[in-house]
Structure 1
Amino acid sequence: MRRTLTFRALALAGLLAPAALIPAHATAASADVSAGDWLLRGGLTYISPKSDNGELTPADLSVDVGSSTRPTGSVTYMFTDNLGMELLVGIPFKHDISLEGDRVGYTRLLPPTLSLQYHFNTGSAFRPYLGAGVNYTHFFDTTTRGGLSDHRLRLDDSWGVAVQAGIDIALDDNWFLNTEVRWIDIESTARLDGDRIGTVEIDPWSFGMNVGYRF
């Protein structure tokens, strides 16, 4: 719970912070987009899984998945002046895995996400948007240590919904700053030496800060 509350506080602060970085001349630029525009964004994303990630049998051990920060990028194509389609990609995230507080390994994941976005053109430097779509998470290179060092742990891939809220802030007619928050439904079946031992509910919040270019 503490981790979730701390992350939400950071996310709120992050959504407000870019406004303080805008030079005075940027207020004359408009963040409005039009049909046919492409929006490219690149930056860093912090993923914070929810606090309670489930229990694994047969001993009903509580599992905890750690947070991770990696470079990410996205591309959005605007079908209309308001509706666009975004694809999020990134460098694989690495998450520690703990049982009852003891680190027993880690996993890497790729979470490409395709979202339909609605952009609120405001005629100003600020353009908020909302999005919803589907996420596919691929787990790989899952490695064990400690109490599980002699066992093979596997996490199955996951499909789930994803929602987002963000804001683009124009620096000029092409360049802009971006900050956004996402929630992603990620649940994976865990297998130890081939046997199913439970479900790992990651369901993370993520926070991204980016630089963008419109063309």
Structure 2
Amino acid sequence: MSRLLTALLLSATVLAGAAAGVSAADLPARHAPVAPPPAVDSWSPWMLRVRALGVVPQESSSLELNGTAIAGDKVSINNTVVPELDITYFFTKNIAVELILGTTPHNIRAAGSIAGLGPIGRTWLLPPTLTLQYHFDINERIKPYVGAGVNYTFFYNTKAKGVFSSLDVENSFGFALQAGVDIMLDRHWGVNLDVKKIFLEPDVKATIPGVGLVTGKVKIDPWLIGGGLTYRF
């Protein structure tokens, strides 16, 4: 019995020594704290563009002299190139509104059957235009869009020329259609191409001393063709 007890005690001593000899490396390693993922830049809904804008009127007219229609009457309005700013706000990644701001001068001349009257006058246009846009999500660089909206054109600093002693062009509402594309160079900067069609037909009134009053409508319907820089906040 004593021999059996001695053997058991010896075995227990050997096992205890073996357990004490186990190194810390043999035990499961404690995991180091995991670093949080890097912060993701917050999405900004704001975008600005600065463009050079070509304004190309597609003019026609319907005029009367002292209440009688003038057959074959036409007007000619010159093209211009001006700077333009637009501000865009995104409601979602695809849906946005854009407000364009710019002003442009135009010379008006008689044409068609009244071409002999020569210059009619000069006026400045301030045509703020608000469009609702849909931006297509093709890839991270190329962002085409289409839009439609409304325009309200202010005519100011209007002056008569030639045989005309007065000229008045009334402010007018119009509709606008739009298509364009942003080509992003990095997260913030890109280049933009944009085309708009504005449907604009203001009432006009002009006086020829000794002849009478010319009244009617002049359809301007300009194309706005722009190119410039995009900045996305």
Q: TM-score, normalised by structure 1?
A: 0.78
Which residues of 2 match residues 119-130 of structure 1 at below 5 A? 119-130=135-146
Which residues of 2 match residues 1-215 of structure 1 at below 5 A? 36-50=44-58, 52-58=59-65, 59-60=70-71, 61-90=73-102, 92-100=103-111, 101=115, 102-148=118-164, 151-193=165-207, 197-215=215-233
Shift, 1:69, TM fit: 1.2
Q: Deviations over 1:111-163 (max 9, x none)?
A: 00011000001123111000100000000111111121xx1100011101101
Shift, 1:55, TM fit: 3.6
CA contact (8 A) 1:178 1:210 kept: yes
Q: Deviations over 1:75-134 (max 9, x none)?
A: 1110011000111001x2001100024322211010000110000011231110001000
Tell me the secondary structure at the aligned position of residue 133 of structure 1: strand
Q: Distance in 1 between matches of 2:106 and 2:191?
A: 28
Larger CA Rg, structure 1 vs 2: 2
Q: Distance in 2 between matches of 1:98 and 1:137?
A: 20
Tell me the secondary structure at the aligned position of residue 114 of structure 1: strand
Q: Distance in 2 between matches of 1:43 and 1:122?
A: 23
> RMSD between aligned alpha carbons?
1.8
Tell me the secondary structure at the aligned position of residue 60 of structure 2: coil
Q: Distance in 2 between matches of 1:131 and 1:145?
A: 38
Shift, 1:36, TM fit: 4.4
Tell me the secondary structure at the aligned position of residue 57 of structure 1: strand
Shift, 1:67, TM fit: 1.2
The higher relative CO (CA closer than 8 Å, separation ≥ 6) is in 1
Amino acid at match of 2:50: G
Which sections of structure 1, spanning at least 5 residues, go unmatched? 1-33
* Distance verdict in 2 for CA 1:45–1:187, change over 3 Å: same
Q: Percent identity?
A: 39
Tell me the matched-pair count.
178
Q: TM-score, normalised by structure 2?
A: 0.72
Q: Deviations over 1:156-196 (max 9, x none)?
A: 11101101000000111100100110000111000125956
Which sections of structure 2, spanning at least 5 residues, go unmatched? 1-41
Q: Distance in 1 between matches of 2:129 and 2:43?
A: 22
